Amino acid sequence: MSEVTISAQQAKPAALIEARDFSVILGANRLVALKGVNLTVEAGEIVVLVGPSGCGKTTFLNSLCGLLPPSAELSGSLTVAKDVRLGYMPQKDALLPWRTVLGNVEVGPELRGLSKADRLAKAEPLIELVGLSQFRNHYPHELSGGMRQRVSLARTLAYEPDVILMDEPFAALDAFNRTALQEEILRINDKTRLTVLFITHDLSEALVLGRRVAVMSNRPGRIVDIYPVDLPEPRSAAKLRGTDAFLLLFQKLWNVLMEESDPTKRGEA
Ligand SMILES: Nc1ncnc2c1ncn2[C@@H]1O[C@H](COP(=O)(O)OP(=O)(O)OP(=O)(O)O)[C@@H](O)[C@H]1O
Ligand SMILES: [Mg+2]
């Protein structure tokens, strides 16, 4: 790397996550899930990852959290900045069935050794935030899929992460709740500079939330392009959707994704 690049790097915001030529091979069949992924996520930004089903998006998040099977073969580099706490909201909710809503949200504070009173003080506002105060003593099997996802969001936030990795977190929600939680993510990001890496198949959601939208290719996944989303701030899901700038970007992303999703272009390794 030249000296010029190094001095430019110093002026840039810190990258909390950096993938360079990162590749993953999975399973007995040696399936190439990711091949040469390059992506950085800087402190405070919301990056959205979109791409065809099966292209390796979840694999990328699992790689960041050390959740790949032990047999996975990795190459290139994937770096999480020192002392950065990652929160993961997985594609399938992983709530503890024997714990109530409150008990699930308290897991993070409990692991950090907080007293009962402090745990409550952390958990209750988050349960309220996701609109489940009336269900705080219910068990996961008593909740709908969308409600469980909301508990999962509250539980992830209760870890007080620096970066939150979200894998299609709102896919099971109705339009009203989805919009409300998108607004909440924007509000939290605005207030706390929480860094977010967000996966979705919903391009409206990608544009409402993302300051940058990274498009992944068909499997084996790599980042084909990164689109800066230059829409008016502060963001508001309700305000952005009908604007010309939004619709233009939507169409552009749609076209790229359609191309990448074309099975005749599947680039098997
Ligand atoms: N443990 C595993 N062993 C072998 N192959 C796997 C494993 N986990 C995932 N795969 C394969 O890796 C590829 C990428 O899967 P991944 O779940 O990352 O895709 P995705 O982009 O998240 O898809 P979706 O949008 O449908 O959630 C798929 O072909 C999948 O079958
Ligand atoms: Mg996935």
- pLDDT tens digits for 154-177? 999 999 999 999 999 988 888 888
CA atoms within 13 A on the CB side of 20: 5
Amino acid 188: pLDDT: 87
Query: What is the tens place of the pLDDT at every residue in 17-47?
Result: 999 999 999 988 999 999 999 999 999 999 9
* CA atoms of 230 and 207, how far apart (whole Å): 9
Over the chain, what is the mean pLDDT?
89
188-209: per-residue pLDDT in tens?
888 888 999 999 999 999 999 9
Task: Say if residue 7's pLDDT is above 50.
Answer: no
Overall average pLDDT of the 58-82 stretch = 94
Same-domain check for residues 133 and 26: no
CA–centroid distance, residue 123 to ligand 2 (Å): 28
Q: Is the pLDDT of residue 221 over 60?
A: yes
Considering the domain boundaries, does residue 5 fall inside one?
no
Whole-number pLDDT of residue 190 = 87
Q: Is residue 128 part of a domain?
A: yes
Task: State how far the Cα of 265 lies from the Cα of 259, in Å rounded to an integer.
Answer: 8
CATH number at 183 reads: 3.40.50.300
Are 125 and 104 in a shared domain?
yes
Residue type, 57: K
Q: How far away, in angstroms, is 106 Cα from ligand 1 center? A: 30
Tell me which H or E stretch contains 242. none
Closest to 38 in 3D by CA, of 11, 15, 9, 70: 15
Report the residue among 22, 23, 26 best suited for mutation to probe ligand 1: largest number of ligand atoms under 8 A from its CB.
26
Whether 122 and 65 share a structural domain: no
Ligand 1 lining (C-beta closer than 6 Å):
26-27, 31, 33, 51, 53-59, 69, 91, 219
Claim to verify: residue 168 and residue 259 sit in the same structural domain: yes
pLDDT over threshold 90, residue 62:
yes
Claim to verify: residue 210 and residue 140 sit in the same structural domain: no
* Ranges of H-type helices in the chain: 3-11, 57-64, 101-105, 107-111, 116-129, 145-158, 175-192, 203-209, 237-240, 244-261
